[in-house]
Amino acid sequence: MLPPIGYAARPEAVRRALDGRTLIVSAPSDLRWLTSFGGSLGWAVIGPDRFVLVTDGRYADRAAADAAAAGISPDIVVASTRPEIRDHVVAAARGGQVVADATHLTHAAWLDFTRDLELAVAPDDLTIRRLRRVKDAGELARIARAAEIADAALTAVAAQLAEQPSEADVRDELEYRMRRLGADGPSYDTIVASGPQHAARPHHSTGRRTIVDGDTVIIDVGALVDGYHSDMTRTFVVGEPDEQQQNVYDLVLEAQLAGLAAVVAGVDARAVDAICRDVFDGAGMGGWFLHGTGHGVGLDIHEDPFASKVSTDQLVVGDVVTVEPGLYRDGFGGVRIEDLVAVTETGCLILTHLSKDTPCLPSRPTT
């Protein structure tokens, strides 16, 4: 039994952060964090004297049940059409200073709200997204469970790489096993990238290519549990690695372990990225690193904080982040190693426990 998520305290936490303003909540993940409602169509309005959840008839019962189970009591308004939903949101938001997420609303919706509210709707400073960064015990338990499921699925499937499956075969087996183990589904489109071209693409779209002896194979897999994601990458070599494959793998592992060692509350996310990047630069392979070192994970698979060269984020206790350096080159393939970790006051708690040893590429164990 997973511990409960602390929904009951969230409305007041949002009100304190808003400091007298009224927020229109449009992003599905923000709505779920605030209300526990996970239907496909919903809006919320929260302010000093209001808390309204608007949806349509398909979700009337679900919205009421989700709110009751979460221990919160928004006024639930049910409409029959999207224009009616919009009108109810406008009515609930009228009065006082209104803010909304400018990164989520379309330009047309923004202008529409501004016209009908008869006030300038100001951009919100990502109130809920900032609060969402710090995961409570219930959230962390779901992310850890999702990571455990992905660990088990990949452990079972990895041995099949030697049987010349297609990339799609491996993806399908992973996703089937994750569901059988209790996941609601995959966190994202599972990446199985093989060979000298496909594995050179950090976000390759899994295809029908047959995996053969000599391939590097990057598998990026995560599970979804109660709306919360996990994220993990392991790299395999089919058959005996050549000298270059071994050297690249060892270098990526060195960078990844250095990045993990740097994760602690109070450190700049940019510094974690720089530590991994310095390992590659020192080996003359910085040009093979094509993305940032990590990102936050929670109700979204990519959320704050981001660890990159331009990040302005600082890690805090309760962040859940990835550490995933990689090297890629067309004609060689690629290697990426990714763990999911929870940030603590003294370091980090690693949530992805699948060994980084492969049949051909042994590595030092991590804790």
pLDDT along the chain (367 residues), means of 10: 96 97 96 96 96 96 95 96 93 92 92 81 94 98 98 95 96 98 98 98 97 96 98 96 96 97 98 98 98 98 97 97 98 98 98 86 55
pLDDT digits (tens, 9 = 90+) for 345-362: 999 999 999 999 777 665
Fold for 7-132, please state it.
Answer: Creatine Amidinohydrolase; Chain A, domain 1 (3.40.350)
**Would you say 46 and 75 are in contact if contact means Cβ atoms under 8 Å apart?**
no
Give burial (CB, 10 Å; 0-12/13-18/19+) of 309: exposed
Model pLDDT, residue 367: 52
3-class secondary-structure state, position 24: strand
Note the pLDDT of residue 362. Answer: 57
Phi, psi of 17 (to 5 degrees): -70, -35
Q: pLDDT value at position 115?
A: 84
Picking from 232, 233, 231, 236, the residue whose alpha carbon sits closest to that of residue 249 is 236
Q: For residue 320, which of 346, 337, 336, 300 has the smallest C-alpha distance?
A: 300
191-194 and 216-221 as β-strands: parallel, antiparallel, unpaired?
antiparallel
pLDDT given for residue 155 in this prediction: 94
CATH topology of domain 137-350: Creatine Amidinohydrolase (3.90.230)
What are the start and end residues of each CATH 3.90.230.10 domain in the chain?
137-350
Q: Which CA distances in Å does 7 have to 136, 221, 226, 234?
A: 10, 28, 14, 34
Identify the pLDDT of residue 27.
Answer: 96
Tens of pLDDT, residues 268-285: 999 999 999 999 999 999
Q: What is the location of CATH 3.40.350.10 in the chain?
A: 7-132
The answer to whether the CB of 229 falls within 8 A of the CB of 351 is no
Q: Is 11 left (phi over 0), alpha (psi -120 to 50) or beta?
A: alpha
pLDDT for residue 154: 96
pLDDT of residue 187: 98
Task: Give the pLDDT score at 363.
Answer: 56
> What tens digit of pLDDT does each residue of 140-197 get?
999 999 999 999 999 999 999 999 999 999 999 999 999 999 999 999 999 999 999 9
User: Which residue is associated with the tokens 């010349």?
Assistant: 164
